[in-house]
DNA sequence: GTCTATATGCAGATAGAC
DNA sequence: GTCTATCTGCATATAGAC
């Protein structure tokens, strides 16, 4: 592992949990076992280092959509794949949603830096939804609403973890983890039931 | 309006949009048309001033649940009331969700300060859900999952506004506002359809 | 490339006049 | 109560030796 990689790894850890403003160069240096000067030698400034970490974090979440679209025949299948993949991904990276929400809200201009070369197949998903609505395979719903609903259900408990854990589970951590452990199946069923046409049994 | 009220109003504005770490005492003073020293005269420290604003912000979101529970016969009715009230509330205060998520994640201890005297009727809602599941009025679902789902659907587009606006709506602000304008009805229907028993038409 | 030492700037907080 | 001026500490960033 080169020094640069060690720095990036340490910066990743610190920035993801504290954000740009909460992070300290000193803490990143300590985490990497080097001193502050070396951080600047490699990345010039805190902002530049942060930007690298942020773009990478955002990119980490995007591939889930692409992969799912390939081996899929209809919308229900896509949603099942997508929820499964995306939920697993975020389970591995539970800090990411809140990190990204926080930084994008602080500086919406960051969106420009991450969308450039990452053309998501949003349009295809919209078409898939429209098609299945037309065919009567699902209840009528706007594509955008369904997409936002699905992502909201996946991300929210991670982004709002301390609140959910406290208000809903009275700080019973085991109960919260049990809740998360079968949430993937719950969400999948919830979404599919919500869009299932009324005359199907 | 007393000086103290002017300060609180200015602090509210600055803290809600920038958070504790992003806010500057100077900016709050400018906003209030006074100088920094006076902020400390009234509230001793930035943290103390912030805490007042945060507790108040959290409290702003809580009454929605209580009111809804009173004039309600069954779960579907409760959900309809709750979604409507809560969605309207957040439409008026769109900064609050992300503000609260950010600060609670930065310092989860803040939860202790807001839950003390604000006993929410979470237990009653859970019982209401269980009861209607038992009676077969809705599909089987854990109370906690349904509660989290409902809140997620309401809050997410506000907390993630810049991302949704960019990725889903390609920065077409009018399209996004149109999306929000009938989202309340969409969510209500989405949730009710998801829990509707299979044999009902 | 990596370090120690230092410069620079800024933000929170205080002292003290009015 | 409100102000100006100042202190203090800290965080980013740089200079310069090795």
Contact yes or no for A101/B105 (Cβ under 8 A): no
* Confidence band, pLDDT 50/70/90 cuts, at residue B64: confident
Q: In the prediction, which pLDDT does B110 show?
A: 97
Contacts of A124 (CB under 8 A, 6+ apart): A69
The partner residue sitting opposite A168, judged by closest CB among B147, B155, B196, is B147
- From the list A191, A19, A57, the residue with the least C-alpha distance to B101 is A19
What value, to the nearest 5°, has the Cα angle with vertex B12 and ends B109 and B26?
Answer: 100
A183:B145 CB<8 A: yes
Contact yes or no for A65/A82 (Cβ under 8 A): yes
Q: What is the mean pLDDT of chain B?
A: 95
CA distance A81 to A128: 14
Contact yes or no for A4/A41 (Cβ under 8 A): no
Q: What is the mean pLDDT of chain A?
A: 95
- Residue A38's nearest nucleotide, by CA–C1', is C2
CA distance A19 to A182: 30
Distance from the Cα of A2 to chain B's closest Cα (Å) equals 31
Concatenated DSSP letters of A2-19? -HHHHHHHHHHHHHHHHH
B152:A148 CB<8 A: no
- From the list A78, A94, A7, the residue with the least C-alpha distance to A48 is A7
Contacts of B124 in chain A (CB under 8 A): none
What are chain A's domains? Answer: 3-52 (1.10.10.60), 62-195 (1.10.357)
- From the list B45, B61, B54, B42, the residue with the least C-alpha distance to B16 is B54
Which position has the token pair 């990036």?
A8
**Is residue B73 over pLDDT 70?**
yes
Q: In the prediction, which pLDDT does B195 show?
A: 98
The partner residue sitting opposite A156, judged by closest CB among B148, B187, B194, is B148
Average pLDDT in the B114-130 region? 88
Hey, how many other C-beta atoms are within 10 angstroms of the C-beta on B70? 8
A195:B191 CB<8 A: no
The partner residue sitting opposite A122, judged by closest CB among B101, B161, B167, is B167
Within a 13 Å sphere around the CA of B129, how many CA atoms are in the beta-carbon half?
A: 20
Q: In the prediction, which pLDDT does A200 show?
A: 58
**Is residue B200 over pLDDT 70?**
no
- C1’ C3 / CA A54, Å: 29
Size of interface A-B (CB pairs under 8 A): 137
Distance from the Cα of A149 to chain B's closest Cα (Å) equals 6
Distance from the Cα of A168 to chain B's closest Cα (Å) equals 7
The phi-psi region of residue A35 (left if phi > 0; otherwise alpha if psi is between -120 and 50; otherwise beta) is beta
Contact yes or no for B173/B165 (Cβ under 8 A): yes
CA distance A128 to A112: 26
A149:B101 CB<8 A: no
* Confidence band, pLDDT 50/70/90 cuts, at residue A201: low
Q: Is A59 on the interface with B (CB under 8 A)?
A: no
The DSSP 8-state label assigned to residue A201 in this structure reads -
Structure token pair of residue A74: 């209809």
> Strand, helix or coil at B37?
helix
> Strand, helix or coil at B93?
coil
CA distance A103 to A50: 10
């Amino acid at each position: 592992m080169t020094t640069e990689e060690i720095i990036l790894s340490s910066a990743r850890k610190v920035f993801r949990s504290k954000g740009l403003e909460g992070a300290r160069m000193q803490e990143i240096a300590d985490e990497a076992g080097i001193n502050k000067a070396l951080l600047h030698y490699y990345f010039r400034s805190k902002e530049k280092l942060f930007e690298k970490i942020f773009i990478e974090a955002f990119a980490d979440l995007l591939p889930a959509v692409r992969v799912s679209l390939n081996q899929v025949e209809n919308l229900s299948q896509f949603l099942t794949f997508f929820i499964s993949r995306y939920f697993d991904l975020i389970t591995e990276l539970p800090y990411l949603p809140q990190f990204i929400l926080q930084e994008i809200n602080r500086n919406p201009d960051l969106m420009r830096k991450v969308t450039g070369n990452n053309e998501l197949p949003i349009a295809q998903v919209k078409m898939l939804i429209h098609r299945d609505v037309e065919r009567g395979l699902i209840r009528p719903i706007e594509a955008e609403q369904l997409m936002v609903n699905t992502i909201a259900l996946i991300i929210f408990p991670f982004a709002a973890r301390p609140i959910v854990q406290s208000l809903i589970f009275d700080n019973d951590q085991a109960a919260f983890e049990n809740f998360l452990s079968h949430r993937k199946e719950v969400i999948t069923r919830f979404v599919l039931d919500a869009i299932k046409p009324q005359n199907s049994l």
